[in-house]
Amino acid sequence: MESVTLPEHPSAKEEYLHLQQARDTIDREIREVEALTGAKAGEEMDVHANIVPDDQEEVYLQLFKAKLDRLRQLTMAAGQAYFARLDFTPAGSSPETWYLGRWGVLDPAALTPVVVDWRSPVANLYYSGQIGKMDYEAPDGHVEGELTLKRMLTVRERELISLFDSGIVSQETYLQEVLGSISTDRLREIVTTIQAEQNIVIRHPLAAHLLVQGAAGSGKTTIALHRIAYLLYTYQKTLKPENMMILAPNPLFLSYISQVLPDLGVERVVQTTFEGWCREGMGRRMPKLQRESRLEKNLTLSEAEREKAGRILRLKGSLAMMKKLESYLDQLQTAILPDKGFKMAGVPLMEHEELETVFLRDLRYFPLEQRISELKKIIRKRVQSAVTLLKDRYNTSAEQMVLKIKANMRESTLRQQKIKDLYTIRDQRYKEIDARAEEYLGKYRDKFPLPDLTGLYKNFLEECYPGEELLPEDGTLRQEDLPMLVMICKALYGLKTKQMKHIVIDECQDFSPFQIELLKQANPAATFTLVGDLYQGIRADEGIRSWEEWKEPVFENKADLKQLTVSYRNTVEIMNLAQTVSARYPIPGICETKPVLRHGEKPKIIQADSDKERLSRIREQVQAWRQEGYHSIALIEKTAEQAKKLYKQIGQELDAHLLSETDSEYRGGVMILPASIVKGMEFDCVGICDASAENFPEDEFLCRILYVMMTRPLHRLAIWHKGDPSPMLPSSHCFPSESKDI
């Protein structure tokens, strides 16, 4: 064996040699796939390259894509082949050894697994089991036996770094080592540290809806992304990435989570926001929206003003509003029908009774605009029949007149002229009938008085909610109007969205019942995974306040609710302080958050006598964190205006980035950002820049905001205030002058 430094463990040499064998197998498979595709490991390749167009092009393209995906997986596996070893003895069988990794690797010669995919059934032994009697569900049935070894291995850059054999203490040590490391600038995948309660959520059956109440730092976002990877692996014969969709709070958050799925070997999953989904569905018909951060606006309103605005938002997001709109649209489809049916030149084309049957029953699955077009096809045929009938009438009348002339007049020039005149008049009538028919069809659409989308929405509000000020005086539309507009667009024109089979919604507590039901109706074959935290419901005026608002009304009690109660993000000291804040306004039925026993530096609450002193202390703290090696540092202000002001004051000297709700790229480093966009994100260090009593008076809404801000850091938290601190901060921890540790 070459001279290498091995971890201190009795089995270190054995594991080192096995790692070399696994690496060699992976390298051989990489070379084989490179030879088959002409691609190179680590380099992107156009999937359309080298494909000869023929009848089999689509099949070939899919196979080629699969090979490129496999090459990407193997390339990533080369650096970290696996992360765990399991020794398991099935009842009545010989012992088996499994190595778990992000991607399965098969020895092509022996056709035996060198590495087992973390999503495989046997991996349940690692995620949900301890040493001793264990069982799991395999494709061939239930397997019972004894787990004799559960070993965690850290492999980095193709080298064996450390080993832990599972016992409670060792497992905690391994978890703390991973969680205690300095983060990257983006959300990290966690396949090596998935815990039992998280594993249950990830492996929840595809056929059932799933609601996840996840405490701050419980990994709910990451778990939701890993669930997507698991579902695509487990149901790969029936579920494709293109038929799965993630809805995130904003484009910045999408950028933040963007690398997790590719790191898990998952490509082509639809990732968007609710507004993005609406824009795709409505296309050019989507009205222009007034840009306004409702959360940002709420931060500037008084409690009474927020309640008034919130009443309107709750109404617009309610199922009651949806049902009223459904009823209005049902009445509309009847009201727009011509009262007397269709008749041209005295010829009945379609009586009103038949019209109702065709339009309201036979064509009911089409949107109104398409129904009107489909009905026109029927009317056009009947117009053509009517034209034939009218022409036949004129022709018959003309022929009868000719016979009379012939019977009453001798052959003469005058008789010939009269007959000729009759046929001329007949032909003129033919032209008039054709013109009449063309004009009739040309005016067909006028018989259906249908307002445009925006006009119809405003008519609905005026007719169904008279006296309610549901739109501003200038009539501008905002994001809260989108569900109604989409529903109207679907009824009038249809939606252009692609049908999904599974939809994941992050920060779902900010979605209204109307939005969820709308997505459900637009994707009738889809199941849902909804993850959120009611404690972080800082948009409760438009979202939900209880999971029951969805369980029975939307999902008809066919959704399972799971709770993630352990926080893996924050240190014990940070979580303890955050919980003293959240406990001021508890939520019934929600379990208390339990932090992983990872200790760190106590949070600091720092008073400044002036704004100049506050800025100076912020500068000092950022420099200190940088010197410790932390590079993901967030300075959070309550509002966007305050964030802009702070950036102007110290942003450039700190080499910081100013982030806003409209940003679509997350860059890491030192960031200055408002509270409205930090939910769901995590950073090495967080500074709450103004937690004064003036900025954060006693208020449930502001309490939720403060809690969200306090639960963002992995390692360090500092809170500054000028003058008196917020009354929501524990008084025993607030000191009058110098920086104090809590």
Q: Which two tokens stand for residue 2?
A: 């070459």
Whether residue 615 has pLDDT greater than 90 = yes
pLDDT at residue 48 greater than cutoff 80? no
Q: How confident is the model at residue 733 (pLDDT cuts 50, 70, 90)?
A: very low
> Which of 534, 483, 475 minimizes the C-alpha distance to 315?
483
pLDDT tens-digit series, residues 549-560: 898 899 999 999
Q: How many CA atoms lie within 13 A of 133 on its CB side?
A: 0
Q: What is the pLDDT of residue 621?
A: 97
Q: Is the pLDDT of residue 154 over 80?
A: yes
- The H or E element containing residue 703 is helix 700-710
Q: What percent of the chain has pLDDT over 70?
A: 92
The mean pLDDT value for 180-200 works out to 72
Average pLDDT along the chain: 88
pLDDT score for 740: 43
Question: Tokens representing 156?
Answer: 């980095």
Those residues whose C-beta lies under 8 Å from the C-beta of residue 651, and which sit 6 or more positions away, are 658, 672
The pTM of the full predicted model, rounded to 2 decimals, is 0.85
Question: Which phi and psi angles does 85 have, rounded to 5°?
Answer: -130, 140
Longest dimension (CA), the chain: 129
Which residues have C-beta within 8 Å of that of residue 538, sequence separation ≥ 6? Answer: 295, 510, 679, 701, 704, 705, 708
Average pLDDT (330-345) is 92
The pLDDT value given to residue 741: 45
For the segment 530-550, what is each residue's pLDDT rounded down to a tens digit?
Answer: 999 988 876 656 678 889 889
The pLDDT confidence band at residue 591, using thresholds 50, 70 and 90, is: confident
Read off the pLDDT of each residue in 28-56 and give the average, rounded to a whole number. 72
Q: In terms of pLDDT, which residue wins out, 232 or 174?
A: 232
Residue 545, both tokens: 């306040």
* Higher-pLDDT residue of 17, 177: 17
pLDDT band for position 111 (50/70/90)?
confident
pLDDT for 573 beyond 50? yes
Share of the chain above pLDDT 90, in %: 62
664 closest CA partner among 294, 279, 253, 292? 253
Please write the tens of the pLDDT for every residue from 471-528.
Answer: 888 889 999 999 999 999 999 999 999 999 999 999 999 899 999 999 999 999 999 9
Show the tokens assigned to 68. 């490129």
Residue 737 pLDDT > 60: no
Confidence class of residue 414 from pLDDT cuts 50, 70 and 90?
Answer: very high
| pLDDT for residue 354 is more than 50 | yes
Kindly state the tokens that stand for 233. 């692996």
pLDDT at 436: 94
Give the confidence band of 428 by pLDDT, cuts at 50, 70, 90. very high
Question: Which has more pLDDT, 89 or 189?
Answer: 89
